[in-house]
Amino acid sequence: MGTPRITDPEKTATEQLLISTAADRALEELDLKKLAEKRIFIDASAFEGAEKGYVVGLVTIALGKQGALIVGEKKDSEAVVTVTPGVLSIDRSGFFLGLPTFPIPFAGGIGTPELALYKTIKQTGIAKFAIHAYEVPTGEQILSLGPFVGTTYYNYRKMFIIFSSSTTDIMEKKKKGWLKP
């Protein structure tokens, strides 16, 4: 049978939730009614990374809910909506008082455990976007919105080696009981 292959993603679920929840909050008041009943092509060429699909999806959903018709090619559109990211990331800060992990010489990567008298890790997800729409083929600006900013947080504390707690404003983590570190 063999050993199952286990891999870890580049970003943890908490990191992904921090970024996506901040994006949700940045775009929750998005008013695109001016684009209702227009054939819209969404230009997300300014984006890079895994979050591109999520943010473009949020804008696409908002456009659809507000009456726009989404097309797959610019040539089929009446207007182009450009989504421009300003920030889509996480800030992290922390404090540690205690004995950190030390590698044990000649033990093949094994180290001593961390002994934290007090430890905090604070993560803040931040998202910032601007949205611009222009007519095809004239290039005349129809709409310019933003910047929109959204934030979220996840804080972890550990005291006296064994007591730990977490706080967050990410609803998915609260509902699922993921607050246990």
- What rounded mean pLDDT belongs to the chain? 88
- Report the CATH number that the domain containing residue 111 is assigned in CATH: 3.40.50
In a domain, residue 1? The reply is no
In a domain, residue 33? The reply is yes
In a domain, residue 133? The reply is yes
In a domain, residue 49? The reply is yes
For residue 181, what pLDDT band results from cuts at 50, 70 and 90?
A: very low
Distance (Å, whole) CA 67 – CA 104:
63
Among 26-35, 81-90, 120-129, 163-172, name the most confident range: 120-129
Q: Whole-model pTM above 0.95?
A: no
How many domains, the chain? Answer: 1
In a domain, residue 7? The reply is no
Check residue 13 and give its pLDDT: 85
Structural domain including 162 reads 13-176
For residue 176, what pLDDT band results from cuts at 50, 70 and 90?
A: low
In a domain, residue 5? The reply is no
Residues contacting 177, CB < 8 A, separation 6+: none
28: nearest Cα among 150, 136, 158 = 150
Distance (Å, whole) CA 95 – CA 69:
50
In a domain, residue 8? The reply is no
Residue bearing tokens 């699922």: 176
8-12, 27-31, 64-68, 146-150, range with the lowest pLDDT: 8-12
In a domain, residue 79? The reply is yes
